[in-house]
Structure 1
């Protein structure tokens, strides 16, 4: 094997390793930062929701506002893994799971609080 072929193979191996080891852009909670709004349909009711997520100094905080119920619920934990955002709201036993749309303008997923319901939030 000549030197050029060997260098090319090493280069391709390094590139493949880097691609596997590099997380996708949406793998950190900061990729989901912003103000989001949507409507949750639950038991014949439509509940308008606002979701706010902010990352500063490596710490991510969030809160969910249920406009029709006059409630603000702070996020207990925020995690992004495998391209999916997961936000726990332990005081109410709720969880938001969503993926960022390809254009970055929507969080598409579900809200679980006893039952699991579809939920799409769009960036404000």
Structure 2
């Protein structure tokens, strides 16, 4: 009986942690900066259980910017770019990631949605 309870408890705890596969893919949104809207696209991948990502900012000709850390736990994602320096932190809910873009001492709300595939796969 004790072994069965341990298995049930273990299965319950596993369902409580976030599955990184939920955030794998291309996520796009808009940052509303003073006087302009800036489109951003995060490309999130999972290699051997470790998340990584890059960032595109098409309006600024910035493609494939290295994201230094990407983490996802309890439906919360955090991506940090040391180069800018900047970060995005958000919560995955109902197929969207709602959060904040922070850079240079300021922050702006942003909602990311999963991009639909176009062109060749």
Could you tell me how far apart the structure 2 residues matched to 1:23 and 1:96 are?
25
Rounded Cα–Cα distance in structure 1 between residues aligned with 2:100 and 2:3: 42
Within the candidate set 76, 82, 87, 2:74 is matched to 82
**Aligned residue in 1 for 2:101:** 111
Matched, 1:101 2:69: no
The answer to whether the 8 Å contact 1:28/1:79 transfers is no
- Cα offset, 1:82, TM superposition: 2.5
For 2:51 and 2:9, locate their aligned partners in 1 and report how far apart those are by CA, in whole Å: 31
How many residue pairs match? The answer is 112
Show structure 2 runs of 5+ residues with no match.
Answer: 116-121
Max Rg structure = 1
Structure-1 residue corresponding to 2:53: 62
The aligned runs of 1:15-94 (5 Å cut-off) are 15=8, 18-19=11-12, 21-24=13-16, 27-72=18-63, 73-94=65-86
The normalised TM-score by structure 2 is: 0.78
Cα separation, 2, equivalents of 1:11 and 1:58: 28
* Distance (Å, rounded) in 1 between the aligned partners of 2:41 and 2:11: 37
Answer 1 or 2: which has greater helix percent: 1
Asked if the contact 1:30–1:60 (Cα under 8 Å) also holds between the matched residues in 2, the reply is no
Query: Contact 2:41–2:57 at 8 Å: present in 1 too?
Result: yes
Deviations 1:71-109 (A, max 9, x none): 13211001112320001111111111111122x2x2111
Unaligned runs of 5+ in 1: 1-6
